[in-house]
Structure 1
Amino acid sequence: MANKYVDFITDEHLLACIDNLHNSYLKAKNNISKETFYKNKVDTIKLTFDSKFNGIDEEDLIQSEILRQIDKSINNSIGTFHEQVLGGIEGYEVGKLSGFDIKANDDTLFADIKNKHNTMNSSSAEALFQKLARYADTYKKANCYWVQILAKNSFNEHWKGEINGKEYSHSRVFRISGDKFYALLSGQEDALFKLFKALPKAIIDYMSSSRPDKGVQENSALEEITSQTDKSKRSILDQITFDNYSYYLGFDKL
């Protein structure tokens, strides 16, 4: 029977990938507590500018910052979604913490997947090139790829040039855009486009299918912070600043 969504992976595999991503969304959104919100330190100087320059009241500002943290977590999960989809193409598999994201079953291809082209600094790029070159040297028939799902152009080219002041090149190390990589693995030039067009229907089918309830707890961070301001009489931004930086000189006076 013909596939319902795309013809380079099974319907069951695509729905499983969507289910995994949905779980990541739920996990990211599930009860952002004050402790979670403070985990990476809140830049309250930036938030002060955001509030004054953009005319946003403090409660709305903090809600937006919570959503930004959720979105950052979800962006990482989108890259995993592509890995899982590509790993469902016949002849390929997902790396599963093995040092690569995708490989050919016959060891003729290894790939590291980034969702966006600008997610690496020069040190990360250098380390990635060196890793791919090691795979190419170990597996003499392997082509090794830095995949940029959302790239600035469509390309499949040798990755060479200067990184951190050093010249890098290898005959079997490439960089490739998402459309070309989907085409390479599936044998279909428009495979990524087909996935894009199929996703709305597949997501609707997934959401309407019978499955255990996956409720999301209400985010409690703002409520926890405002309960403190009722006692401390600080503004919301002052309370967040005090909670995060009271050990800085003068900040204990807030």
Structure 2
Amino acid sequence: MWTLSFISEEDFTKHVKKTIEKYGEKLESFDLKRFNKNIIDPIKLIFDKTVYQASWEEIVSNEIFRQRDKSNNNDIGYFHQRIFNYIDKCHVPDNGKEGGWDVIFENPDGIALPDGSVVHTIYVEMKNKHNTMNSASAGKTFIKMQNQLLTDDDCACFLVEAIAQRSQNIKWETTVDKKKVGHKLIRRVSLDQFYALVTGQEDAFYQLCMVLPSIIQKAVDELEGSIVPHDTVIDDLKVLAEKQNLDDENLAVAMAVYMLGFGSYKGFNF
């Protein structure tokens, strides 16, 4: 039985599938050539394996995960932003359109802010994590919000952070041209508080998180033929290890790893 009142199971599943499909080439299987595309650091791998008391399978799997993970944040940003296309009174402008805002929330009945102000539109700049903006980027974003308030006196501007330091909906204060600035209608808001505001349900984000694992699993099961990678790196390494003519299996795999980074180095190129 579906428990979320602010998004249908069909829409949520559709959105999760679209997010998974955004992973694109990162879902392609890893062979040894792809694994070593940017030349791995064999010394680090061997330190990690030994210090963490891991198997070669675990270390190789972790390295593949690390390489895939480097560019996944943009895909999760897609999930956090585009879900608001399915939530009442919200829409996500096309890239570069409608001022370049990530989400726009409009309520003709009014939107009450914590300080008692009431507006009818909220323009959102969304960030994955609270520490992803440097001072120049923060200043530029604040000025963009100031300009929006100058052209629309019935709105507020939110910096919404998926991973905020704490649950909050506060006046955003930052530095522009070495001066501390702030405005009651320019606010720094954690994702849970934004969900609460747009859905009218205090624990909406919590409820979404509770059903997310099962919906992701459902989507993966339905997409399995097209997305599940079958990595062959450890098998490829073991084939190379067998060619090392070493009795110690661990050292033989280590030598195969060494060859990835040091294959042309003196002593290794035998």
Taking structure 1 as the reference length, the TM-score comes to 0.74
Alignment match of 1:216 (pick from 222, 228, 234): 228
Distance 1:137 1:52, change over 3 A: farther
Q: Once the two structures are aligned, what percentage of the paired residues are identical? A: 30
- The 1:6–1:167 alpha-carbon spacing in structure 2 relative to 1, beyond 3 Å, is same
**Alignment length, in residue pairs?**
245
Match of residue 12 from structure 2: 14
Equivalent of 1:79 in 60, 77, 80: 77
Is the contact between residue 91 and residue 104 of structure 1 (CA under 8 Å) also seen in structure 2?
yes
Cα pair distance change 1:160/1:215, threshold 3 Å? closer
Shift, 1:175, TM fit: 0.9
3-state SS, counterpart of residue 129 of structure 1: helix
| Bigger strand fraction | 2
Contact kept in structure 2, 1:150 and 1:178, CA below 8 Å: yes
1:117 aligns with 2:130: yes
Q: Paired residue for 1:192?
A: 205
CA distance in 1, matches of 2:45, 2:200: 48
Counterpart in the other structure of 1:50: 48
| Partner Cα distance (1:37, 1:17) in 2 | 30
The residue number in structure 2 matching 1:241 is 261
Within 5 Å, which residues of 2 pair with 1:106-145? 108-145=121-158
Gaps of 5+ in 2: 108-119, 245-251
Secondary structure of the structure 2 residue equivalent to 1:85: helix
The code of the aligned residue for 1:7 comes to: S
Partner of 2:115: none
Give me the whole-angstrom Cα distance separating, in 2, the residues matched to 1:69 and 1:61: 12
Q: Secondary structure at the match of 1:235?
A: helix
User: Per-residue deviation at 1:138?
Assistant: 4.3
Residues 51/197 of structure 1: CA separation in 2 closer, same or farther (3 Å cut): closer
Partner of 1:67: 65
Q: Secondary structure at the match of 1:146?
A: strand
Structure 1 gaps, min length 5: none
Residue of structure 1 in register with 2:189 after alignment: 176
The alpha-carbon distance between structure 1 residues 74 and 133, as it changes in their structure 2 partners (threshold 3 A), is same
**Deviation of 1:109 (Å):** 2.0
Assess if the C-alpha contact under 8 Å between 2:105 and 2:123 holds in 1: yes
Partner SS state of residue 158, structure 2: strand
Q: What is the Cα deviation at residue 203 of structure 1?
A: 4.3
What whole-Å deviation, never above 9, does each CA across 1:65-85 have from its counterpart, x for those lacking one? 111222344443223212122
Report Cα offsets for 1:219-245 as digits up to 9, x if no partner. 2455666767777998344334348xx
For the structure 1 residues 221 and 120, does the alpha-carbon distance in structure 2 shift closer, same or farther, using more than 3 Å as the test? farther
Task: Give the structure 1 partner of residue 159 of structure 2.
Answer: 146
What secondary structure sits across from 1:87 in the alignment? helix
Aligned partner of 1:158 in structure 2 is 171
Q: Secondary structure at the match of 1:90?
A: coil
Equivalents in 2 of 1:239, 1:140: separation in Å? 65
Q: Normalization by structure 2: what TM-score?
A: 0.70
Higher-Rg member (1/2):
2
